[in-house]
Structure 1
């Protein structure tokens, strides 16, 4: 009764303690083996299964395939099985002119990269370019094509501005005019600059109808002289500022189309 119970309790707990120690040791061993296997695979895979060829597909006008290959090579880690294609895709699309890139592995040692470049519709705010879908990008200035029209506005409105430009460009071409610039300010005030040197002020509302009003009178205005500014911000007419060399008689005949109304 004095000492038997403590001795029996201690001897009964010993197998449980040893079992816990064995399980912990086994867990550590398995963890170490797994970590070693992962390290060995990561070390040997790029050496045994390296990517030897980076094949670039697609039309590249502003970024040579050599530049794209260099960019991919510098970002490439791992072999054909472990290369991070998502990271390489991001690296390719970070190049200013690259709109979309897709990559795939081609066994045993080839990485295929297909690229679609942005197709610029116009210059944007002087230092950028914009696509027909309103995507704004900023390439190096030396790669910006010459002769593109200028679109201006907040970047958030780029899709709207690009859409209006394409529609108005086609409408104005029917009467022999080309758009040199198109802008919308923070108040929503639209202006169109024509290649011939005329500025159309369309205001903030009913801009499509106001442009149509100019188009319907374009031939009459040209016959009258050289307009510098055509202010269409009237409800039912427009005002014209003429170049100094316009004929006074021509101006008088053209002024018959000017009507009074509220501007907006």
Structure 2
């Protein structure tokens, strides 16, 4: 028994709007690929086409420091004016021991401008470093440290405390025309001062503020009596003095005098 079959159905033709959408999508993909390729080529050739030719250093920077900074940043340049990583260059600049803060910006078409704030040293620190008024210790490399600055000695971790006391004590001693040449605190916490007059003060480990005030109150009297070499203030309410030879005033060569008899403390 045979069965009759009708003609095969043909697929309906695609709507023109759908065809246009597909064509546009293909063109969009091609454009994106072209842009990506162009971008990759730009990144590849940008350091050559738009190189950084100049590095300008702004701020109160010494010539040697400026040259050192320029050489360091030149060695770290990766890319041209558009692609170089300013954050990485900032980190590289601030790794220099004398740089407190650095700010970098691009100046079209080929210049990198660097604004630098140097640390301002107030004193030498442990013979090989410098310290700022905020107690920041830094150790410049390849630079001569001025011997005219006062010398502070102590643990780096105590630098802010030592600097704070130095500044306060400097103000107190200025009232009796004295200045601090050397301030030392050892691992035990024993404080010592060497003054511009040549006298050494032993303040000990306790009540150092009161002991320094005791010296300031007696400084003019001591200066009138002779030339003290060492004043030990580690007493509860007095001090002892070791004098330098002074034939003009008749002070004996090395007598010890206790201003107020009391037991010595730390």
Give the TM-score normalised by the residue count of structure 1.
0.80
1:197 maps to: 198
Q: CA deviation at 1:172?
A: 0.6
Structure 2 runs not aligned, ≥5 long: 1-29
1:162 maps to: 163
Greater mean deviation of Cα atoms: 162-171 or 238-247: 238-247
Q: CA deviation at 1:63?
A: 3.2
Q: Larger radius of gyration, structure 1 or 2?
A: 2
2:263 maps to: 261
Measure, in 2, the Cα distance between the counterparts of 1:195 and 1:132.
20
Is 1:231 aligned to 2:232, yes or no?
Answer: yes
Counterpart secondary structure, 1:100: strand
Counterpart secondary structure, 2:167: helix
Is 1:77 aligned to 2:75, yes or no?
Answer: no
- Assess if the C-alpha contact under 8 Å between 2:180 and 2:195 holds in 1: yes
Counterpart secondary structure, 2:113: strand
Measure, in 2, the Cα distance between the counterparts of 1:263 and 1:59.
48
Measure, in 2, the Cα distance between the counterparts of 1:62 and 1:181.
30
1:62/1:164 CA distance change after superposition, 3 Å: farther
The 5 Å alignment of 1:1-264 reads 39-61=40-62, 63-140=64-141, 142-245=143-246, 247=249, 255=257, 257-264=259-266
- Assess if the C-alpha contact under 8 Å between 1:237 and 1:261 holds in 2: no
For the aligned residue pairs, the C-alpha RMSD in angstroms reads 2.8
Q: CA deviation at 1:257?
A: 2.8
Q: CA deviation at 1:53?
A: 2.5
Number of residue pairs aligned between Structure 1 and Structure 2: 236
Q: CA deviation at 1:186?
A: 1.0
Measure, in 2, the Cα distance between the counterparts of 1:135 and 1:190.
20
Measure, in 2, the Cα distance between the counterparts of 1:38 and 1:186.
61
| Residues 146-202 of structure 1: per-residue CA shift (max 9 Å, x gap) | 311110000000111111111111111110111110011111111001122111011
More helix by share: 1
1:235/1:256 CA distance change after superposition, 3 Å: closer
Greater mean deviation of Cα atoms: 64-73 or 158-167: 64-73
Measure, in 1, the Cα distance between the counterparts of 2:142 and 2:107.
36
Measure, in 2, the Cα distance between the counterparts of 1:64 and 1:126.
21
Counterpart secondary structure, 1:63: helix
